[in-house]
Amino acid sequence: EAARGSGIRRFLHVSTDEVYGSLDPPLEAGEAFALLPSSPYSATKGGSDLLAQAYFLSYELPVVITRASNNYGPYQFPEKLIPLMITNALGGRRLPVYGDGLQVRDWLYVEDHCHALQAALEKGRDGEIYNIGGNCPLTNLEVVRKVLAATGRPESLIEHVEDRPGHDRRYALSSEKIHRQTGWRPQVSFEEGLARTVRWYRENQGWVERVQSGEYRKFYAQNYDNRAAELRRTASGKLAPEGR
C-alpha cells in the first residue's frame, strides 16, 4: 500500500525457487510452473509472490518478481549450508549433513545475483516473473566435499544427521527468460565463487565468532547436535538383537 501511493518507478519483489517445490529430473521450472511449496517458509514466499502480482493486476503497480536459486558468498549467516560447512571445516569441527546428502540445489554466487536483480529492475517488464539460476546443480554432499577440498580438511569430518522436515529433494530453474530479455548471465563459476567465499571467512574470523555466539549456539544444538544424536540412537536400535 505504501508503494502504491508513492509513485515509484519499479517495485522489485525478491522470491525463491522453493515456491515451485521439489522437481524430478530432468524437469526445470519455468516462470509459468505451478506453485507447489512444501514448507511454511516457501508457502509464505509463494503467497507474497501472488500478492505482489495481484497489486500489478489490480492497481498497475509496476511490479517485477524474481525467483532465485541458492545464494552463497561473503557475509552469509552460518546457518546456511556453505558458510556452516566452511566455518566448521576451518575450526576442525564435524560437518553435519542432513539425511543422505543427495538433495540437489542450484548454486548462485551472491554478486551474480545482485547483477541479475539490477538487470530485472532496469530491463525487466512490469508484471513479469524472472527466474535467476546459477546453472550449477550440485548435491549437498558434493558441496560439502568441495568445501573440504578448498579448506584442506579430510572427508572424515562429514557427519550425517537426521533429515529435517519439509526438506525438498531437488530444485531446478530455467533462467532462459531473463537471459533473453535482459542479457544477464552468471559470470562466477562455483569453483571461483567458493574460493572467494572461503578466503573471506578465513580473513574474517572475528565476524564469525560474533555471529556464532548466543542464540546461534542454541540453533546449532537443536538443528544439528540433537539430530546427530537421534540418528545414532536410531542406528543403534536397528543393530540391537530382537526383544531388546
Q: One of 1, 17, 201, 242 is an active-site residue; which one?
A: 17
* CA proximity to 146, closest of 97, 199, 191, 110: 191
C-alpha–C-alpha distance, residues 115 and 159, integer Å: 36
Contact residues for 225 (Cβ-Cβ < 8 A; gap 6+): none
Half-sphere exposure of 31 (CA within 13 A, CB side): 19
Residues found in the chain: 244
Q: One of 1, 18, 225, 230 is an active-site residue; which one?
A: 18
* 31 labelled catalytic: no
Q: What is the CA radius of gyration of the chain?
A: 20
Q: What is the DSSP letter of 29?
A: B
* 18 labelled catalytic: yes
Q: One of 20, 41, 112, 225 is an active-site residue; which one?
A: 41
Active site residues per annotation: 17-18, 41
